[in-house]
Structure 1
Amino acid sequence: MTLKGKTLFITGASRGIGLAIAKRAAQDGANIVVAAKTAETNPKLPGTIYSAAEEIEAAGGKALAVQTDIRDEASVDAAVAKAVEAFGGLDILVNNASAISLTPTPDTPMKRFDLMFGVNVRGTYLCTQKCLPHLTAAAKAGRNPHVLNMSPPLSMKPHWFKSHVAYTMAKYGMSECTLGHAAEFKALGIAVNSLWPRTAIATAALQMIPGADLNRCRKPEILSDAAYLVLTSDAKGTTGNFFIDDELLAKHGITDLDRYAVVPGTTDLIPDFFVD
């Protein structure tokens, strides 16, 4: 199974992991809707919806750049409508956009709290809700629809909460969407899964975290290759999972992961959060 001719709506696809997933799908000849906020170049955060669209088309896909605030219902409505108008429907939703603040309670302004919940939880729920009619139509047409949330396995262990309660709750909110929507949409034939990295991933967002050593990270391509395996699987038989990138790749015979390291040969990679 390939993604040729499939239409993917990817949030936060102007850079990083979202763009990597888009470019991997583009290699099959997929249609990509770049739903992100950045329309003008920012020297601190490279990549716009337009530069991403150019990269996607260079990789072999078709791209539609749509400036979207996934916290805003009207903005998402408009983006989905433009996507359907351009490509005739939607087959896959990747809820990748996320906001992060690794701060304890006294150091988390409510504005930052609201941003994380607005993007991570509300944005994921809202995009899923608005794409649902089109994913349902894709299921009826036998087009193997998927929702993939870039969020971690759920855990009630206090150590994942104590240092950054707000961020953990916001990311787990995305994962709770996976848990609930997988069950809710199963009868419709729509798969809903989560994917999360074993190690830290070198992205522009990570560069903004003080002390982060990108040389001890893996590249976004490990997640794009893992996402591809999820999105090309049978939607009726692969749903409700919380995949970890290296475990999923290993199940498909990919065990040499050195090519994904920012610095090949690195053995002391930084572990990501939420994976025991």
Structure 2
Amino acid sequence: MITPINRPVALIIGASRGIGRQVAIDLAKNGYAVVVSAKSTTSPSDLAKISPFPPDPNSPQSTITTVAKEITDAGGEAAAIPSDTTKYETIKDLVAKAVEKYGRLDVLIYNSGAIWWAPVSRTPMKRFQLMQRVNVEGLYGAVQECLPYLQKAPQGGRIVVVCPPIYSRFFRGKTAYAIGKVGMSVLVKGLGMDFEREEKEQGAPKGHMAVVGVWPAVAIESAATQQFTRRDPAYAKHLRKPTIFSDAILAMLRAPADVINGQLELDEDFLRKHAGVTDFSKYSVVPGSNPRRIMPAELPDLRVKEQDDEGDRIDSSKL
């Protein structure tokens, strides 16, 4: 019988580089045992050759193996377990191994994502399918596998999804990508409603479960944005450090369930409203710069006048 570790456990999918790596490191610094997962790993022989260590966090040398070593070298608790989010069987294996390792699961953070920004006419079917498998199907599979364990979390289970608020400008020039990312946002909204309904109708503990989406208000330094700084080093003035994202996620994990459940948040706005942050200068990649906000100042409210009127609800699982 496995004895659960005496600290909360966070599974971070998409944790080999950039934002995911930073989230893993900062959660470990704040008392979490972290399971870092992605496809990329480093063999023991190659790990010994990396100098200096740790490697550039946005380079191919940064893998779940190096991230886990960074954490354990600093005295934290981490395990690297590979997975391929396009294959449900590997997600099932990942979650089973994580629970076998630590005996519990408290937090799921889904940061894995495939990107292709182009009009529909220039987005091949293979690109479209890959994005849906990684973004929507991968998230759905991870949630399905993690839910039974998150529901048993002593202080309540939390799910954090890297997905955007829903607004029309987001679709422009990247429709195929937006289909998947907004699909992830729909899961956050719908699952949040499921949690609320279970509290009301099934007597589930109030505030025990919560799901939230988070998205950057300003572009963040990562492997994805490196392509712009390589072409033009001055582009760095438009970027923030990934620590703003990990700080926002930590603030979300500390917040009451009714503050975050079913919400689609922006990192900066959440920190300002719920963590009292007023000075964001420390997050600028270039000191003294004022990175441009890429998100709208105001976002649409998706609720309607008849929000609570569901009509005749149908549950296909009970038919």
TM-score, scaled relative to structure 2 = 0.78
The sequence identity of aligned pairs, in percent, is 37
Aligned match of 1:114 = 129
Alignment of 1:121-140 (within 5 A): 121-138=136-153
Aligned match of 1:261 = 284
Q: By how many angstroms is 1:115 displaced?
A: 1.2
Q: By how many angstroms is 1:240 displaced?
A: 1.1
Aligned match of 2:315 = none
The correspondence for 2:166, drawn from 154, 160, 169, is: 154
Whole-angstrom distance in 2 between the partners of 1:119 and 1:169: 12
Please, which runs of 5 or more residues in structure 1 have no aligned partner?
none
The correspondence for 2:24, drawn from 15, 19, 22, is: 22
Q: By how many angstroms is 1:130 displaced?
A: 0.5
The correspondence for 1:5, drawn from 4, 7, 21, is: 7
Alignment of 1:16-165 (within 5 A): 16-40=18-42, 45-138=60-153, 141=154, 143-155=155-167, 157=168, 159-165=169-175
Q: By how many angstroms is 1:162 displaced?
A: 2.8
Whole-angstrom distance in 2 between the partners of 1:274 and 1:94: 25
Q: By how many angstroms is 1:46 displaced?
A: 3.4
Judged with a 3 Å threshold, the aligned counterparts in structure 2 of structure 1 residues 243 and 237 are, in CA distance, closer, same or farther, namely closer
TM-score, scaled relative to structure 1 = 0.90
Worse overlay, 99-108 or 194-203? 99-108
Contact 1:198–1:275 (CA<8 Å) still a contact in 2?
A: no
Whole-angstrom distance in 2 between the partners of 1:124 and 1:274: 26
The correspondence for 1:218, drawn from 240, 244, 266, is: 240
1:202 aligns with 2:225: no
Contact 2:113–2:131 (CA<8 Å) still a contact in 1?
A: yes
Contact 1:152–1:274 (CA<8 Å) still a contact in 2?
A: no
Contact 2:9–2:34 (CA<8 Å) still a contact in 1?
A: yes
Root-mean-square deviation (Å): 2.1
Whole-angstrom distance in 1 between the partners of 2:276 and 2:264: 19
Contact 1:28–1:61 (CA<8 Å) still a contact in 2?
A: no
Whole-angstrom distance in 1 between the partners of 2:209 and 2:15: 22
Aligned match of 2:190 = 180
Judged with a 3 Å threshold, the aligned counterparts in structure 2 of structure 1 residues 234 and 67 are, in CA distance, closer, same or farther, namely same
Q: By how many angstroms is 1:154 displaced?
A: 1.1
Contact 1:36–1:68 (CA<8 Å) still a contact in 2?
A: yes
Contact 2:17–2:59 (CA<8 Å) still a contact in 1?
A: no
Moved over 6 A (4+): none
Q: By how many angstroms is 1:234 displaced?
A: 2.4
Whole-angstrom distance in 1 between the partners of 2:24 and 2:59: 22
Whole-angstrom distance in 1 between the partners of 2:297 and 2:71: 31
Give the secondary structure class of the aligned counterpart of 1:93. Answer: strand
